[in-house]
Structure 1
Amino acid sequence: MAFLKRNSSVLFFTLFFTCGCATSSFDVIKQGDFVVELKVTPDRILLECEPQPSHEIENAHGFLMYILDDKKTVITVAQFNVLDKEECFNGLRKIDKILKTGKVLYVGGMGNMTDSKARNDRKYTFPRLGTFHSNGKSLKFMVIANEHGLCYDAHDGDKGQCPREPFSLKY
């Protein structure tokens, strides 16, 4: 009888951890004509508003997202228009909400993921996964959404149509 109780406890915990915990993942779901769509879990994304001191806008900042790919290297996703500090951090907070409320994220960008780039010395630490090098690949940030339909567009924020063409971002 004790044997059955112990086995049922093991089965319960095995099922709980198998079904209740999301597995960390990265996948390129669309690529063509410089349009790239990624499907990624939130633990593989870091967000940053980086000061741009050489820019003519006072308190200029650039929005950056770092994504850990399936080869354990980091892709840089950058919003190419420069923002003021407040605008950058407002966008970061909205995107952070999308990350925190979703288990699956869809990121749309412009660029080429097939170009092979050399690993460089820049390192990024992902809290649950470890520290990894940049692979030199970059995308222009266009849109991010989660499976609940929360969406943020690089040009319109959370107002207007999201996602816009050419991104389909199925959630």
Structure 2
Amino acid sequence: MIVQLILLPIEADLDYSILDKLANDISGEFENIKLTLDIRVELQTASGIQSSVNKRRNQWNSFKILEWLEKFRPNKATKILGIFDIDAYTAGFDFVFGEAFYRGRVATLYLSRLRQEFYGLKPNPSLFYERLLKEAIHELGHVFGFGHCKNSRCVMHFSTSLLDIDTKGRSFCPSCRKKNFRYC
């Protein structure tokens, strides 16, 4: 089955070369699925989702953003990875690095906490990219039907901190790799 994956940077200032590299690296990890990749950069602002901002917390509600992204899905064989340079939370968590509708069609990445600068540290572009890639593959894993994995080196391991992200690999463990992807 051919699945179209749309990388949709919204409120995210990412160079096209980073998005292109991300698309290629994601495609390599999901080798059992024929992905056609489409990077859409025409949507530069997140108009229409201002209700997702929780002003008291100074964060965005991730669940509301996922619901908003659902509106952009043109058909069942299309998946969207929304990339936002914001701080977000979801029910039961103070913050999230990303979120997805399990076996759904949309996922999100939130860049602010993946950056060293968020914690008052010097920028580290290569470390930022590794975190970005791991979390992109992780969230897309949920979209394709994968749950969390107990193997701390597996990309599907649940990450509650940067240490968790930095410790895990960028690939599925052998056990997860044996599972079938669910496409729609």
TM-score (norm 1): 0.27
Which has the larger share of helix?
2
TM-score (norm 2): 0.26
